[in-house]
Amino acid sequence: MAAAARVGQEGHMAPHRPALFLDRDGVINLDKGYVSRVEDFEFIEGAAEAIARFNQRGWYVFVVTNQSGIARNYYTEDDMHALHAWMEARLAEAGARIDRIYHCPFHEEGENPRYRKDSFDRKPKPGMLLRAMADFPVKRESSFLIGDKEADLEAARAAGVAGFLFTGGNLADFAEWTLAGFEDGHRG
């Protein structure tokens, strides 16, 4: 499957492209604590616009999200997948596309034994970013992450990707400002 993502229509290897990595809660949607239901999901201002702009530039857009609420038995993986399908449908209506969502349902103190473990995917570890870069031909040195916590930035650094801290406001404006500084050599 991973190889198929890299091969273009004519059978040639797809060129490497930069990637925008986004945390979910606090970046794409307001972080209300363990958001798992459509009725609790509220997009951050400018989220769809930011994603659409990077789509138009030819960048990959990936979501990398810790979902310890699954390990804590607050909601199920099926609940999360249903929410993500709804989120992606709303983004598509706004002309925005996420190439893949990576999630980590594990937490070493989880209530659910199936998910109670340490994981290389759980930020601040870089597993989700590294998997995205293995699954897609990502141009690492031109890619960056936007997150709202230090753990997001630590994961980006560990994966060899620049990281930028979003503290609120309009995500599209922040992403454009970040890209301009990033291209000028101000790496996160």
Report the DSSP beta bridge partners of residue 164: 146
Q: Tell the residue number behind the tokens 């929410």, with chain if given.
A: 83
Eight-state DSSP code of residue 167: -
Q: Tell the residue number behind the tokens 């990936």, with chain if given.
A: 62
Say how far apart CA 132 and CA 62 lie, in whole Å.
8
Catalytic residue selected from 23, 99, 135, 148 = 23
Told to judge if 23 belongs to the known catalytic residues of this protein, a careful annotator would answer yes
Catalytic residue selected from 25, 99, 135, 152 = 25
Pairing of strands 60-66, 162-165: unpaired
Sign of CA dihedral 32, 42, 136, 69: positive
Tokens of 175: 């992403």
Told to judge if 25 belongs to the known catalytic residues of this protein, a careful annotator would answer yes
SS in 3 state form for 39-72?
HHCCECCCHHHHHHHHHHCCCEEEEEEECHHHHC
Residue-level length of the chain: 188
Structural element, H or E, at residue 79:
helix 77-93
Kindly list the catalytic residues. 23, 25
